[in-house]
Amino acid sequence: MADIFDRFAPLMAQRDSFFTEAGADPFTVRMDQVISQTEAMIGNRRTILCGTNNYLGLTFAPEALKAAHAALDDFGTGTTGSRVANGTYVGHKALEDELKTFFKKDHAIVFSTGFLANLGVLSTLMGPDDFIVMDADCHASIYDGVRMSQAQIIRFKHNDAADLDKRLARLADKPGNKLIVIEGIYSMLGDTAPLKDIVAVKKKHANTYILSDEAHSLGVLGRFGRGLPEQDGVEADVDFIVGTFSKSAGTVGGFCVSSHPKFDTLRLVCRPYIFTASLPPSVVASAAVNLSIIRGPEGGALRKRLRRNAQHLHARLTNLGLKIASGPSPVVAVVAPSPEMAVAFWRGLIEAGVYVNLALPPATPYGYSLLRCSLCAAHTEEQLDEVVAIFGRVAADLGLIERCARKVAGA
């Protein structure tokens, strides 16, 4: 008799061969104590955290902690329902006002997670006569959102504005709207979209809009941390910006901002917004405070330190002879030659006191097996040098790089 989970048997067999037999399972890693933004106790081992997406280190910002504690005392631990059913708390309105100020947009809507933000906006915006033209390497939340829409879905080659142009040209005689969907920084490899070129393509085609997911570029790119559109000087040409508070903003939740005059229609028609419990008051309070930090002088200083750390780690790991998936970025993804080698590499790093993300195909672009590092402004140069030394020793033990021991000594 067939079991309800039988269709997952090949996946579970793969998991067992990668993790159980190798004695290394990322799903069993437990942080028993968080010491700081960059260190935790995993079991009885002090571990450097290089896989948290905590780009600016704001998870322990004193101002945010104070605001969260005050909101807990004043409003309790949760809202116990959606804003449509249970009402809007003053903190939700304050956070949306902060988002409008931050991004210089007319409208903002807050979701309970970044995943729900993409799911809600993309499943709602486009109808059956419309087209969504998306970068092939977009995040899973984007794929799920467009699949839930009634629009026709077309993928273009990753970061290829010319291919995007060709696909839009084929739709020139088709009625309906077209929505280009991209990301600012792509989460797996750390590369950025060619946004200026994509905007130029958009302007060639009628009834065409751009939605950019700035989850990994919020707080990271641009003078004031507004992401890739700010950095590239094309904010007015990006119609919808989606993002999350779970990276640079140091908490959880998602949002979408826009200056489209009819944007607030989403509050009446977007099911993941209408039927999901709203964020707890403590979360929205800390998110609003951290956004104000990001756009202020302290945020600028943190971005400079983050860039310095990203360049430092990228250069040192490259000097070891390791293959890095993209240029310097807060995401530094080391490419392993096979999934099995990536698992062994990850296990060696964890046992030596470095935590990174293990990412394996089919969840990765180009079938890469990745050791994905995400930098934090709070990392010290000494910590990063220790990370490089450990990468070098583990890589040498696995036979991945030649003369690694000598290179590590000079790292």
Strand partners, 372: 333, 357
Is 187 noted as a catalytic residue in this protein?
yes
Q: How far apart are CA 326 and CA 351, in angstroms?
A: 26
Q: Indicate the residue among 294, 310, 341 that finishes a domain.
A: 294
Total structural domains within the chain: 2
How many Cβ atoms sit within 10 Å of the Cβ of residue 373?
28
pLDDT band at 297 (very low <50, low <70, confident <90, very high): very high
pLDDT band at 21 (very low <50, low <70, confident <90, very high): low
Residue 330 has pLDDT above 90, yes or no: yes
Retrieve residue 187's tokens: 């989460």
Residue 310 has pLDDT above 70, yes or no: yes
Mean pLDDT of all residues belonging to the chain: 94
Is 123 noted as a catalytic residue in this protein?
no
Q: Indicate the residue among 294, 325, 341 that finishes a domain.
A: 294
Residue 407 has pLDDT above 70, yes or no: no
My answer on whether 324 and 349 are in the same domain is: yes
Residue 403, domain member (yes or no): yes
Residue 282 has pLDDT above 90, yes or no: yes
Residue 19 has pLDDT above 80, yes or no: no
Higher pLDDT, 133 or 400: 133
pLDDT band at 24 (very low <50, low <70, confident <90, very high): low
Q: Cα angle at 18 between 16 and 21, to 5 degrees?
A: 60
Residue 15 has pLDDT above 90, yes or no: no
My answer on whether 201 and 337 are in the same domain is: no
pLDDT band at 405 (very low <50, low <70, confident <90, very high): very low
Mean per-residue pLDDT for 184-211? 97
**Choice among 156-160, 296-300, 337-341, 385-389 with the minimum mean pLDDT:** 337-341
Helix or strand or coil: residue 182? strand
Q: How far is CA 382 from the centre of its chain?
A: 26
Helix (H) or strand (E) holding 154: strand 152-156
Secondary structure (DSSP) of 33-74: EE-SSSEEEETTEEEEE-BS--TT-GGG-HHHHHHHHHHHHH
Q: Indicate the residue among 294, 313, 343 that finishes a domain.
A: 294
Cα dihedral 358, 248, 384, 65 in deg (nearest 10): -110
Give the model's pLDDT for residue 251: 98
Write down the H helix ranges in 111-254.
114-125, 140-148, 161-169, 195-204, 228-232
Any idea what the CATH number is for the domain that residue 386 is in? Answer: 3.90.1150.10
Q: Are strands 178-183 and 131-135 parallel, antiparallel or unpaired?
A: parallel
Mean per-residue pLDDT for 204-226? 98
Give the model's pLDDT for residue 248: 98
How many Cβ atoms sit within 10 Å of the Cβ of residue 231?
18
Q: How far apart are CA 94 and CA 284, in angstroms?
A: 8
Q: Cα angle at 73 between 72 and 79, to 5 degrees?
A: 45
User: Sheet of 107-111: strands edge to edge?
Assistant: 107-111, 254-258, 240-244, 208-213, 178-183, 131-135, 152-156
Q: How far apart are CA 216 and CA 247, in angstroms?
A: 7
My answer on whether 160 and 250 are in the same domain is: yes
Q: Annotated catalytic residue: which of 92, 247, 312, 314?
A: 247
My answer on whether 100 and 181 are in the same domain is: yes
Q: How far apart are CA 392 and CA 402, in angstroms?
A: 10
My answer on whether 351 and 387 are in the same domain is: yes
CB 345 within 8 A of CB 368: no
Residue 6 has pLDDT above 60, yes or no: yes
| pLDDT 10s digits, 132-143 | 999 999 999 999
Q: Annotated catalytic residue: which of 123, 141, 149, 187?
A: 187
Q: How far apart are CA 172 and CA 196, in angstroms?
A: 21
Whats the size of the chain, residue-wise?
A: 411
CB 231 within 8 A of CB 214: no
Give the model's pLDDT for residue 402: 63
Q: By C-alpha distance, which of 246, 237, 234 is closest to 208?
A: 237
Q: What residue numbers bound the domain in which 180 lies?
A: 62-294
| pLDDT 10s digits, 166-193 | 999 999 999 999 999 999 999 999 999 9
My answer on whether 237 and 374 are in the same domain is: no
Give the model's pLDDT for residue 404: 40
Q: Annotated catalytic residue: which of 216, 312, 314, 407?
A: 216
My answer on whether 161 and 144 are in the same domain is: yes
My answer on whether 264 and 171 are in the same domain is: yes
Any idea what the CATH number is for the domain that residue 140 is in? Answer: 3.40.640.10
My answer on whether 262 and 241 are in the same domain is: yes
Residues 6 or more apart from 188 whose CB is under 8 A from it? 137, 325, 331, 333, 359, 363, 364, 365, 368, 370, 372
Residue 409 has pLDDT above 50, yes or no: no
CB 318 within 8 A of CB 326: no
| pLDDT 10s digits, 345-397 | 999 999 999 999 999 998 899 999 999 999 999 999 999 999 999 999 999 99
368: left (phi over 0), alpha (psi -120 to 50) or beta: beta
My answer on whether 85 and 200 are in the same domain is: yes
